[in-house]
Amino acid sequence: MLIGLQIRDIVLIEALDLSIGPGLTALTGETGAGKSIILDALGLATGARGDAGLVRRGAPQAVASAAFAPSTDHPVWDLLEARGLVYARDEDLVLRRNLSADGRSRAFVNDQATGVGVLKELGEALLEVHGQHETVGLLDARTHRPLLDAYGDLAVQAARVAADWRGWREAREQYEVLLAEAARRVADTEELTLRLSELDRLDARDGEETALAEERAVLGASEKALADISTARAVFNGLGGKVAGAIRALERARERAVTAGAAEDGAAVQRLIIASEAIDRVLNEAGEAESAIDAAALAFDFEPDRLEQTEERLFELRGLARKLGVAVERLPSLRLAFAERLRAAESSEATLKAAGVRLATARNAYLSAAVTLTKGRREAGERLAQAVMTELAPLKLDKARFRVAVEPLAEDRAGPAGMDRTAFEISTNPGAPFGDLGAIASGGELARFALALKASLAGRATGAQPLMIFDEVDQGVGGAVADAVGLRLKRLAANAQVLVVTHSPQVAARAEAHWRIVKAGEGERLRTAVEVLGAPEREEEIARMLAGASITDAARAAARALMDA
């Protein structure tokens, strides 16, 4: 709800502060008094195009400030949050626009600098304008579906469709992810199978590379050690025979010495005996040494070609590791990973099939809910069309025809709002084709049509209702038609805030609040002012509207009758 409007230096208004209440407020006054300035100022504050011509002559800038008191659940708060503006839902919302004489403007929301586009976005959520030169709200087909759903009490069905749409979208996204993964797995299966076959054949074991490297080192050393042992063995080959020959030679020498008469215990014989015994010991030790050499050779003995086999195995392991781009020690774990990926590829078909079932179920649920919602919209559209047609004749729009078009959409254009395009359409003359609401050429007719539609929707809409402004909705009509306009504005204002600029006494008499716009002063000092009228002043103003310049008692009586009706 708009609770206040502050105007500074706009056209003929120098300074004006207005407090606005609920219900229907009428703005009256002579032609040219400046009623449109009030609406221009409100438009400036809510993001309308700003022209330097609005700045009062001689003033550096014009300022328009509109204070609103939205309900705590009003969608305007979500807009503020989306734009990063600070707000408190239990406080007023103030939109302000400064327009300098050179045409530059600045926009503010609760004294926070912002863009004019933000003001316009907020203004569209807070008010509707239906008038001679501008209609904001109903001409936007995006507003038609929510209005129809509210009229038809379809909020529950619409919420179900939105929820089923989200479920369908999530199931579709999950299925597409699994499908892409399955496609990648199919492409990888052949490569994985080949690599796993290589890993299975090689059968690498944890720590095998280290063990093989150590074994290769030992085997290499063993081969060289055996060569050295063979050299040592060669040294002893024949040594036993030579030593035995030496012993025999010494024995012959002893025998010759004894035969020659040397005593057995003589020094020469004893030395020969000692030498023979020493050589005998050498013979025995040489035998032991040879046995030790043989034992050493046996210790370094290994299978034929063992070194070559070890090197070939190590080469294979390292070659496959290089091919797969991993360290040798990772081959066993890589084998397990490849096997798991192949198992996943084999099981992905079942997973994909289950996801496909979920997708089909979600799709069918959405389509069923959307079809039900479309049916409900068509039924509500027929009722709304009948209600609007009933309203058109009293408003002198009896030649017009109205319908609610609910046209099906292809499945690929489905969305959270359903599978239909909803639009309010009108035919201005018998036989003329239906078209969008912009086909109504006259601004007054469009404003009255908007009134007929709003009157039909009154009491059925849910959620926050915007301020509605009707600018000379009664232009070109009078008498019973003007009274019908006033009656519908009164009915509409029972659940919403309505401002009407009017020249019709029948309309003004229905208002809860009445402002008279007047000019005062002369020449350069000419100013527009707003007078808030009490009951006596209202009677006099309505009498003036009835009688003209000369107000009679009969006009005053007629004014009282209108006000009491």
| Fold assignment, 184-342 | Helix Hairpins (1.10.287)
Number of CB atoms found within 10 A of residue 418's CB: 28
Beta bridge partners of 129: 136, 469
What are the tens digits of pLDDT across the range 468-507? 888 877 777 778 888 898 899 998 888 889 999 988 999 9
Backbone φ and ψ of 308, nearest 5°: -65, -40
Distance CA 5, CA 43 (A): 11
Backbone φ and ψ of 378, nearest 5°: -65, -40
Q: Concatenated DSSP letters for 409-462? A: --GGG-BTTBSEEEEEEEESSTTPPPEEGGG---HHHHHHHHHHHHHHHTTT--
DSSP 141: G
DSSP 64: E
Number of helical H runs and strand E runs in the chain: 15, 16
Distance CA 500, CA 488 (A): 12
Strand ranges of the sheet holding 420-427, from the earlier edge strand across to the other edge: 401-408, 420-427, 435-436
**Closest to 116 (Cα-Cα) out of 108, 124, 128:** 108
Backbone φ and ψ of 509, nearest 5°: -65, -20
Distance CA 373, CA 381 (A): 12
Helix axis angle, 331-392 to 443-457, nearest 10°: 110
What are the tens digits of pLDDT across the range 43-77? 999 998 888 889 998 899 999 999 999 988 888 99
- Domains of the chain, residue spans: 184-342
What are the tens digits of pLDDT across the range 365-410? 999 999 999 999 999 999 999 999 998 888 888 888 999 999 999 9
Distance CA 206, CA 204 (A): 7
Per-residue pLDDT of the chain (565 residues; tens, 9 = 90+): 899 999 999 998 999 999 999 999 999 988 877 888 898 999 999 998 888 889 998 899 999 999 999 988 888 999 999 999 988 888 999 999 999 999 899 999 999 999 999 999 999 889 988 865 555 567 778 889 988 998 999 999 999 999 999 999 999 999 999 888 777 777 777 777 887 788 888 888 888 878 777 767 766 666 666 676 677 777 766 666 677 777 777 778 777 777 777 777 778 778 878 888 887 887 777 777 777 777 766 656 556 577 777 778 888 888 888 888 888 888 888 888 888 777 766 667 788 889 999 999 999 999 999 999 999 999 999 999 999 999 888 888 888 899 999 999 999 999 999 999 999 998 888 888 888 876 665 667 778 888 888 888 876 655 566 788 888 777 777 788 888 988 999 988 888 899 999 889 999 999 999 999 998 877 667 788 899 999 999 999 999 988 877 888 899 999 999 998 7
Secondary structure E strands in 110-219: 112-114, 127-130, 135-136
Residue-level pLDDT at 238: 64
What residue type is assigned to position 210 of the chain? Answer: T
Residue-level pLDDT at 203: 82
Place of tokens 């035998």: 287
Classify strands 498-501 and 24-28 as parallel, antiparallel or unpaired.
Answer: parallel
**Closest to 196 (Cα-Cα) out of 342, 328, 348, 344:** 342
**3-class secondary-structure state, position 562:** helix
Residue-level pLDDT at 421: 94
Task: Quote the tokens at residue 269.
Answer: 């014989």
Task: Quote the tokens at residue 36.
Answer: 């449109």
What global pTM score does this model have?
A: 0.65
